[in-house]
Amino acid sequence: MFSNLATKVALKKVGLPSNSFKIPDLPWADSKKSTKPSSPDGFDSGDQSPSWPSWMTVKNLPLTVQPWLTPVPPPIPIQALPKIGDTAPLDRDRELTFGGGKRVIVVFLRCVGCAFAQKLFLQLRGIATRFPGEITCVAISHSSAAATQKWLDLLGGAWNVNIIIDEDRAVYAAWGLGLGSVWYVLNPTSTVAGFKEKGWLGSSVAGSLQRSGVLKPGGAAALPRGKNISTGNGAGVVGSDLASEDGPPTIMGNKWQESGAWAVDGRGMIVWGGKALRADDVMDLEEGVKCLFGPSK
């Protein structure tokens, strides 16, 4: 993700060296493994650059660091972004269903703890409270069920919002949402907005998970897909905590994941929405409400 010239130039503009995010000898890399013996402390001997010590793995990095690593690809190709007038996409596991007269606003969140995701979710929760039975509000999280639940608890609960856990990002991919570029995440507008925001809860979520023992061997068992977890206010989180051996854990989600929001009418047709323009782009969901009901609402 960080190898092309444009990315290196972008990193230089924000004051980062071009190899800032380069991690040598990742366990899921395709490169040929070195057969050179390592020294007892876990580092290669000789004049070569040191490799990771034997005790250091990606999964041992702090939970607040892991979201900055490039995740493995989703299990399906990234589809084209759905446009207004298109039929709402159907994902691989049919986590989202449309039609039958049901009006839906679906929001794809960035990682839990993100202040911009918090603003978007609180908008959605407000709409779900104002239009119970009239609009089905759905938030998709690619963070783990445990992290998403804790984040919701810190925000006071999901209330009337349906939460779907999409840790492998298959639903995101079906709706055309992949990984953003360095410019998408670290552009000047997003960077300045990030410094101004006070709603960052990532450290609180990570600290709670570590204290609760969820991340320890023998901790909370993986939740079967489709089962509800109570969030404290009667709503539920649907999905599972997926253990990945192929890349960075998705416990806290990933900073590079694109977000977006769409409104789908009772025929299953998209009437509003799209991908967020930048990491800090908090889309105006009220526009979606107007498109579902008309300006009177």
Mean pLDDT of 17-40: 43
- Structure confidence by residue, pLDDT tens digits, 274-297: 999 999 999 999 999 999 997 665
To the question of pTM greater than 0.85 for the whole model, the response is no
Among candidate residues 28, 51, 29, the one with its CA nearest the CA of residue 39: 51
More confident residue, 72 or 47: 72
**What pLDDT digit, counting tens, does each position of 138-192 carry?**
999 999 998 999 999 999 999 999 999 999 999 999 999 999 999 999 999 999 9
What would the mean pLDDT of 206-234 be, rounded to a whole number? 48
Helix axes 115-130, 285-293, angle to 10 degrees: 30
What is the C-alpha separation between 63 and 60, in angstroms, rounded? 8
* Residue 56, Cβ density class (10 Å: 0-12 exposed, 13-18 middle, ≥19 buried): exposed
Other C-beta atoms lying within 10 Å of the C-beta of residue 131: 18
Whole-number average pLDDT of the chain: 76
- DSSP class of residue 139? E
Residue 20 has pLDDT above 50, yes or no: no
pLDDT at position 202 is 67
Percent of the chain exceeding pLDDT 70 equals 64
Residue 127 has pLDDT above 90, yes or no: yes
Long-range Cβ contact pairs of 243-246 (< 8 A, separation 24 or more)? 244/72, 245/28, 246/28, 246/72
pLDDT of 267 above 80: yes
Beta bridge partners of 274: 261
Res. 46: pLDDT tops 60: no
β-strand 135-141 against 103-108: which pairing, if any? Answer: parallel
In this model, does residue 52 exceed pLDDT 80?
A: no
Which residues, 6+ apart, have CB-to-CB distance to 47 below 8 Å?
none
> Quick one: average pLDDT of 1-19?
48
Per the CB < 8 A criterion, the answer to whether 255 and 185 are in contact is yes
Q: Which residues contact 288 (CB under 8 A, 6 or more apart)?
A: 105, 261, 262, 263, 271, 272, 273
Q: Say what the pLDDT of residue 248 is.
A: 52
Minimal CA–CA distance to 142: which of 58, 249, 219, 27?
249
Residue 39, pLDDT > 50, answer no
Q: Residue with structure tokens 């990570």?
A: 206
